[in-house]
Amino acid sequence: MAATRSGGGESAKLRVRPVQAAYRQVAEQLRDQIVSGALPSGSRLPSETELGSMFGVSRSTVREALRQLASQHLIDTTRGVTGGSFVAAPDAGLIADNLGGSLGLLVNSRGMTVDNLIEARLLLEPNAARLAAERADEDGLAELRRTVEGTGHLDPDEGFTVHWDFHTTLVSISGNPLLHVMCSPINAVLRGRMHRDRISRPAWDGIDEDHVKIYEAVAGGEADIAETLVREHLLGLKPLYERMED
Amino acid sequence: MAATRSGGGESAKLRVRPVQAAYRQVAEQLRDQIVSGALPSGSRLPSETELGSMFGVSRSTVREALRQLASQHLIDTTRGVTGGSFVAAPDAGLIADNLGGSLGLLVNSRGMTVDNLIEARLLLEPNAARLAAERADEDGLAELRRTVEGTGHLDPDEGFTVHWDFHTTLVSISGNPLLHVMCSPINAVLRGRMHRDRISRPAWDGIDEDHVKIYEAVAGGEADIAETLVREHLLGLKPLYERMED
DNA sequence: CCGCGCAATACGTCAGACAATTGAGTTCCG
DNA sequence: CGGAACTCAATTGTCTGACGTATTGCGCGG
């Protein structure tokens, strides 16, 4: 039922699952309650023991179902007398983390190539820069500014981190959390596949220079220029990822 | 609470988590093994009992960890003598389904707006159409063709389904599975929020006409035209989603 | 009035047992 | 000799009961 197999075209396997395992049924029902809004965000679920008697299953089974929900970030669980399982507020960052793990796996399994990632990035980030230029506020610009100033006297490792902070921040101030959800995982995978050792000092300086120029365009509200600069910046970075025959 | 704000640069909260719960540690270690490729896709994990003695925890704890991995589609578990937990082959469709659920939740919780979705869609789909026009093969074009022919004599319900098939197919023949992963969830959420009742007969006809024109541009390899047509098509559809104050 | 410890609650973990499922090896009959 | 039915062992699924541990609130005493 949940295995909609949406990826493939043909109906591949239609095994008549006699019955779902109990923990799956419990998880599914709770999940429906949560996503449908019947259990509002922040509300507390009954205790594990209560859930067990409600569903007519043991506490172990309930716990396995709860683990499933927790790993989808649908609930948060705490201990103690005021503890329990609470419906979690959806958080874009957590969703992005999840997606990042999945995408990394897809790349590793040859289901997707680094080129696919770069291509998607080229669709998203330049446009994110455009949006950022059009509607970033003071706070956002200040945050972005912090990632471009004083990069010269950083050791390579810190510089590496700051480099990615720039891209992350740029996307997040575009005002569309969905772009953040989609770009972060892509960048996370790319970051893991970058040969940072092979980047020469002049190359780092060039990158920093690009970032400064992009920042200025965004801060000045020049959407077209920001978009173009980011596109060229990414194209220039492309060779750093490509040589990864492991 | 658990709002780690992964986007931000600063180290937000440094709660001294004394120790992670055992089932989390087990899940994390297994997860690392899987995503790092140490456990190749398709390989079989030790039995739950063995894992328990390897990690020095009980079988219940192992099972909770496995449930967590299973819900991320990292493993598949079957019963029987040849059963066990197997590292799953990552599947773009399943990832997209997961993401779709999360995005729906984000929209419902006001963490994201329908406008955000439409904006992202406008960045992705027109470019996907361009790519499709540039590199779709015969099979892909045939598949796309099936979604545009004979739409006139369909009842509204079927027409509705076919309409979404067109968009899904268009993206999937772009040759970049990542675009499919990102567009499918967006369309799934949008589809759920569409007022199909309010679409008049002439409106449906206009939509079908657009699809045919887009198909022809893609089949003819006219990338620029395809991109523009899709953008205009989506802009024309926009009003159908916007009136959703529930 | 303030601090300290105890009780209550709920999650976290463990151990052991039995049921259900599944494929492989084995046996038996045509 | 071949195939169908049966037995069996391995593994997950579920239950039960117990105990450990974190967290909070309340009451007691100084």
For B34-43, B122-131, B195-204, which range has the lowest pLDDT when averaged over its residues?
Answer: B195-204
Which distant-in-sequence residues (6+ apart) come within 8 Å of A172 by Cβ? Answer: A140, A180, B7
A27-63 residue pLDDT tens: 999 999 998 889 998 999 999 999 999 999 999 999 9
Q: Could you tell me how far CA B234 lies from the centroid of its own chain?
A: 19
Question: Please, what is the average pLDDT of chain B?
Answer: 85
For A1-5, A114-118, B101-105, which range has the lowest pLDDT when averaged over its residues?
Answer: A1-5
Q: Which of the 8 DSSP states describes residue A111?
A: S
> Measured between CB atoms, which of A60, A109, A176 is closest to B89?
A109
pLDDT band at B164 (very low <50, low <70, confident <90, very high): confident
Whether chain B has a CB inside 8 Å of the CB on A32: the answer is no
pLDDT band at B163 (very low <50, low <70, confident <90, very high): confident
B178, pLDDT greater than 80: yes
- Select from B232, B244, B235 the least CA-distant residue to B192: B244
| Mean pLDDT of the region B37-45 | 91
* B123 CA to D23 C1' distance (Å): 48
Residue owning tokens 């994390």: B28
**Strand C contact set, beta carbon < 7 A:** A 18-19, 45, 47-49, 59-60, 63, 77-81, 83-85; B 21-23, 56-61, 64, 78-83
pLDDT band at B50 (very low <50, low <70, confident <90, very high): very high
Quick one: what percent of chain A has pLDDT higher than 70? 85
Phi, psi of A121 (to 5 degrees): -60, -40
pLDDT value at residue B242 = 65
Put simply, the answer to whether B106 touches A177 (Cβ < 8 Å) is: yes
pLDDT value at residue A157 = 67
How many other C-beta atoms are found inside a 10 Å radius of the C-beta of residue A6? 17
Strand C nucleotides where any atom sits below 7 Å of a protein CB? 7-17, 20-24
B7, pLDDT greater than 50: no
* B74 CA to D5 C1' distance (Å): 38
pLDDT value at residue A4 = 35
Q: Within the 36-95 window of chain A, which residues sit less than 8 Å (CB to CB) from chain B?
A: 37, 41, 60, 63-65, 67-74, 76, 88-95
SS3 A26: helix
A172, pLDDT greater than 60: yes
Put simply, the answer to whether A90 touches B106 (Cβ < 8 Å) is: yes
| A22, A57 Cβ separation under 8 angstroms | yes
Residue owning tokens 């541009």: B217
Q: Within the 112-141 window of chain B, which residues sit less than 8 Å (CB to CB) from chain A?
A: 112, 116-117, 119-120, 123-124, 127, 131
Whether chain B has a CB inside 8 Å of the CB on A33: the answer is no
| A49, A43 Cβ separation under 8 angstroms | no
Per-residue buried b or exposed e for B4-28, using 16+ beta carbons within 10 Å of the residue's own CB: eebbebeeeeeeeeeeeebbbebbe
Q: What is the model's pTM? A: 0.81
B118, pLDDT greater than 60: yes
Put simply, the answer to whether A89 touches B3 (Cβ < 8 Å) is: yes
Whether chain A has a CB inside 8 Å of the CB on B154: the answer is no
Quick one: what percent of chain B has pLDDT higher than 70? 85
pLDDT band at A100 (very low <50, low <70, confident <90, very high): confident
| Mean pLDDT of the region B28-48 | 92
pLDDT value at residue A11 = 35
| Mean pLDDT of the region A82-107 | 86
* B79 CA to C22 C1' distance (Å): 7
Per-residue buried b or exposed e for B146-174, using 16+ beta carbons within 10 Å of the residue's own CB: ebbeebeeeeeeebbebbbebbbbbbbbb
For chain A, the distance separating the N- and C-terminal CA atoms, rounded to the nearest angstrom, is 38
| Cα Rg of chain B (Å, integer) | 23
B66-110 residue pLDDT tens: 999 999 999 999 999 999 999 998 888 888 888 888 888 888 777
pLDDT value at residue B9 = 35
A13, pLDDT greater than 50: no
pLDDT value at residue A12 = 38
Angstrom CA distances, A5 to A10, A204, A212, B96, stand at: 9, 44, 45, 10
B182 interaction partners in chain A (CB closer than 8 Å)? 120, 182
CB of residue A79 closer than 7 A to nucleic acid strand D?
yes
Q: Which of B67, B174, B246 to mutate to test the interface with A (most CBs of A within 10 A)?
A: B67
Question: Please, what is the average pLDDT of chain A?
Answer: 85
| Mean pLDDT of the region A185-205 | 80
B2, pLDDT greater than 50: no
CB of residue B49 closer than 7 A to nucleic acid strand D?
yes
